[in-house]
Amino acid sequence: DTAGTPQGAAKAAKAVLKKGVRLIIGPLLASEVNAVRPIADEAGVDVIAFSTDTDLAGGNVFLMGFLPRQEVIREVIYARREGLRRFAALAPDTPYGHLMVGALRDVADRSGGEVTEVAYFDPRQGGVTAAVAQLLGKGADSSEKAPDFDALMLPEGGKTLDQIARALAAAGLKPRRVQLLGSGLWDEPGTRRQSELIGGWFAAPDPSSWRGFAQRFESAYHYQPPRLASLAYDASGLAAVLANGEGGRPFSRGAILNPRGFSGVDGLFRFAGDGLVERGLAVLKVEPEGDEVVSAAPQSFRNLGY
């Protein structure tokens, strides 16, 4: 137990290393991973962490979490194949928001598209109306004017995403004219309860495996698993594979970097030499009765585009 602090994580790492462990799974938070890294490195032990902070990857740290940049690449490449070329973003003014917009600009440019509008909002202020007005000022209002973009990325979730959806509708944005694009934060049941988001696309693992996992989990523990539970399950499965030494000696770095990768509840994954996970993601469409797969997750690592 890290106790949710860097100090607690360091203490926990020292305790398990004294017991002779050869692989550490976790922790979750970036500050905790940073505290565990040098302790595990000194012991010659690798860390499979759940953080999405890509600056932590490398050396003895491998990131198992869902990486936002890969989500953007997957959905934008699909959008380009569907004929969409002009992209916009309404994002929080946070490191995560800027990371997502940066990824959008990069992949749009590389794929022959362009980013025509970007607006940021301060999540601490609790309002998005001004950012929506800024975003739509050049192309859409309550009239029938067309927006200046084909697709709009909304990298938010929960109550903030609900607020954004209502503000866009109130400002006159017509969903039938603009394709909404989400992020991994959309991968939860509450998203489909907001009617303005129906038809939106987001990249995530294929939900069919998750549904089976969730049923088994609920049968065993009598409550619905949190979405991140599959990461811990797949990491444990990975540890079992690494113990067999396939691709190298047990728990070796060579085994972790097996180019054939691994398969789990969240689909195909493998680790690159920089410590970042590469995942085969599907593109899902938000529907009232459940998300629909509109582009299946790849079955091999060829042409992932990451």
Q: Is the pLDDT of residue 279 over 70?
A: yes
Tell me if 185 sits within 8 A of 284, measured CB to CB. Answer: no
Residue 235 token pair: 């990491």
Tell me if 150 sits within 8 A of 178, measured CB to CB. Answer: yes
Mean pLDDT check: name the lowest of 29-33, 84-88, 174-178, 194-198. 174-178
Averaged pLDDT for residues 108-121: 95
pLDDT of residue 141: 45
pLDDT level of residue 45 (50, 70, 90 thresholds): very high
Task: Give the span between the Cα atoms of 72 and 231, in whole angstroms.
Answer: 20
Tell me if 118 sits within 8 A of 137, measured CB to CB. Answer: no
Q: Is the pLDDT of residue 10 over 90?
A: yes
Residue 95, preceding bond cis, omega within 30 degrees?
A: no
Highest mean pLDDT among 9-18, 205-214, 280-289: 9-18
Query: CB burial class (10 A; 0-12, 13-18, 19+) of residue 81?
Result: exposed
**What's the mean pLDDT when you consider all of the chain?**
91
Q: Is the pLDDT of residue 145 over 80?
A: no
260 Cβ neighbours under 8 A, 6+ residues apart: 247, 270
**pLDDT tens digit sequence for 49-104:** 999 899 999 999 999 989 999 999 999 999 999 999 999 999 999 999 999 999 99
Averaged pLDDT for residues 170-189: 88
Residue 76 token pair: 């934008």
Q: What is the DSSP letter of 273?
A: T
Describe the crossing of helices 68-81 and 95-110 by its angle, rounded to 10 degrees.
30
Mean pLDDT check: name the lowest of 18-22, 280-284, 301-305. 301-305
Task: Give the span between the Cα atoms of 25 and 49, in whole angstroms.
Answer: 6
Averaged pLDDT for residues 149-154: 96
Q: Which residues of 149-175 are buried (b: 16+ CB within 10 A; e: fewer)?
A: bbbbbbbbbeebbbbbbebbeebebeb
Is the whole-model pTM more than 0.75?
yes
Tell me if 46 sits within 8 A of 68, measured CB to CB. Answer: no
Q: Is the pLDDT of residue 142 over 50?
A: no
Mean pLDDT check: name the lowest of 123-127, 176-180, 202-206. 123-127
Residue 203, phi then psi, degrees to nearest 5:
-100, 135
CA-CA-CA-CA torsion sign (102, 104, 109, 113)? negative
Measured at the alpha carbon of residue 226, what is the angle toward residues 225 and 227, in degrees to the nearest 5?
A: 110
CA-CA-CA-CA torsion sign (297, 301, 303, 305)? positive
Percent of the chain's residues with pLDDT above 70 = 94
**pLDDT tens digit sequence for 217-244:** 999 999 999 888 999 999 999 999 999 8
Q: Is the pLDDT of residue 245 over 80?
A: no
pLDDT level of residue 305 (50, 70, 90 thresholds): low
